[in-house]
Amino acid sequence: MLTPFFETEPSTSSSTSSTSTTTTSKSTSTSSTTSTTTTTSSSTSSSTTTSTTTSTSSTTSTTTSTSTTTSTTTACNYFLNQTTYPVGSTPYSVAVVDVNSDNKSDIIVANSDSNNVGVLLNAGNGAFNVQATYAVSTSPVSVSAVDVNSDNKPDIVVTNSGSGTVGVLLNAGSGTFNTQTIYTVGSNPRSIAVVDVNSDNKSDIVVANYDANTISVLLNAGSGTFNTQTIYTVGTNPRSVVAVDVNSDNKPDIVFANSGLNNVGVLLNVGNGTFNAQTTYTVGSNPRSLAVVDVNSDNKPDIVVANYDANTVSVLLNAGSGTFNTQTTYTVGTDPHSLAAVDVNNDNKPDIIVTNSGLNNVGVLLNAGNGTFNA
């Protein structure tokens, strides 16, 4: 990451303010007196302010007076340079959660080509210990950390895309995990959501199976075990699955991107952990990632989608009863791959942050209100 450059000394905090003022006056006479005063003050706290004032006056008696004042103010907010931690080969997905009950967030990463999951415990002061690895099955690509056995400790749930399975690693305490238990799902499971879908206060597993064109639902059988999958046929190449109540019945519904058909599918929860057939909504070409969040403050979650081949983001406002309006599209950078919807400017409206993978940058669309966004 580029480090900001300042004429004066840079701040060591999140914000820097620098002001430099120079004043020079000169007149001419028979006698000459020169006085130069330089004052520099610097204080450092959570923000740093540096000011420099230079004053020069020369008097020789009667004639000319010239005064020049120059003022420059520069401000910059930035992050410190990254600290890197070695993990496995091709880290594909990450979850951040306190796994050892010390009130510090730890890191869990799916190392796809190493066929393992890495856990980096928080050592304090923003530093992390060397990863501990846990073997899983072939090509883990999506990881979640949720308590699935009601012991108040987050467990690890991972999709093994190369073996068509989901692995569950129960938390053994002190930040360690048991060997995975494997559950069969569809071919090439790419995305996972872990949420209680049948109102029994136990977390269930929802999986998007990319090559099988299905969604799998595995109900929690208690004690961290799961029933055989129930399969729902959806569109081509489903990915990026989210489980959120979209029709205000207090039951989580399933929303996902059918990347091969350029649409979004919605499976409404009918109770007892079962779902209706999908309803689809057209979006852009090759939708890769989605978020479900209320963007227009009507207390109904809306759908936001990154369309990889179209170089657009789609916003589908919730029309009520679990239905959605036609998309509104916003042009972004090349190959938008992943997105998040969160308030970044403290106006209580979620904004859109998208990775433009073809341009090596991140785009931000600020929420303008009423479900619309600035370019």
Residue 100: which CATH number? Answer: 2.120.10.30
Q: Is 85 within 8 Å of 120 (Cβ atoms)? A: yes
Question: At residue 257, does pLDDT exceed 50?
Answer: yes
Average pLDDT, the chain: 86
Q: Are residues 28 and 134 in the same domain?
A: no
Question: In sequence order, which residues have a C-beta less than 8 Å from that of residue 2 and are 6 or more positions away?
Answer: none
Q: Are residues 178 and 272 in the same domain?
A: no
Question: In sequence order, which residues have a C-beta less than 8 Å from that of residue 236 and are 6 or more positions away?
Answer: 213, 258, 259, 260, 261
**DSSP state at residue 347:** S
- pTM here? 0.80
Domain membership of residue 4 (yes or no) is no
Residue pointed to by tokens 């209580």: 348
Q: Are residues 94 and 178 in the same domain?
A: yes
Of the chain, the end-to-end C-alpha distance in Å amounts to 25
Domain membership of residue 51 (yes or no) is yes
Domain membership of residue 9 (yes or no) is no
Q: Are residues 347 and 254 in the same domain?
A: yes
- 70-126 residue pLDDT tens: 444 444 567 789 999 999 999 999 999 999 999 999 999 999 999 999 999 999 999
Domain membership of residue 193 (yes or no) is yes
Q: Are residues 57 and 103 in the same domain?
A: no
d(Cα 150, Cα 154) in Å, to the nearest integer? 9
| Burial state string for 114-150 with b = 16 or more CB within 10 A and e = fewer than 16 | bbbbbbbbbeeeeebeebebbebbebbbbbbbbbbbe
Q: Are residues 42 and 129 in the same domain?
A: no
The whole-number average pLDDT for the span 309-323 is 99
Domain boundary among 28, 56, 76: 76
Q: Are residues 68 and 126 in the same domain?
A: no
Structural domain for 60, as ranges: 16-76
Domain membership of residue 261 (yes or no) is yes
Domain membership of residue 152 (yes or no) is yes
Domain membership of residue 227 (yes or no) is no
Q: Are residues 213 and 274 in the same domain?
A: no
Q: Can you list the alpha helix ranges (DSSP code H) found in the chain? A: none
Q: How many domains does the chain have?
A: 3
Q: Are residues 55 and 141 in the same domain?
A: no
Q: Are residues 151 and 241 in the same domain?
A: no
CA angle 47, 52, 58 (to 5 degrees): 170
In Å, how far are 172, 175, 223, 302 from 101, measured between CA atoms?
Answer: 12, 8, 20, 34
Q: Are residues 33 and 145 in the same domain?
A: no
- 127-181 residue pLDDT tens: 999 999 999 999 999 999 999 999 999 999 999 999 999 999 999 999 999 999 9
pLDDT band at 44 (very low <50, low <70, confident <90, very high): very low
Q: Are residues 204 and 140 in the same domain?
A: yes
**DSSP state at residue 112:** G
Domain boundary among 169, 187, 219: 219
d(Cα 282, Cα 375) in Å, to the nearest integer? 21
* Nearest Cα residue to 239 out of 273, 282, 288: 288
Domain membership of residue 124 (yes or no) is yes
- 200-232 residue pLDDT tens: 999 999 999 999 999 999 999 999 999 999 999
The whole-number average pLDDT for the span 366-370 is 97
pLDDT band at 292 (very low <50, low <70, confident <90, very high): very high
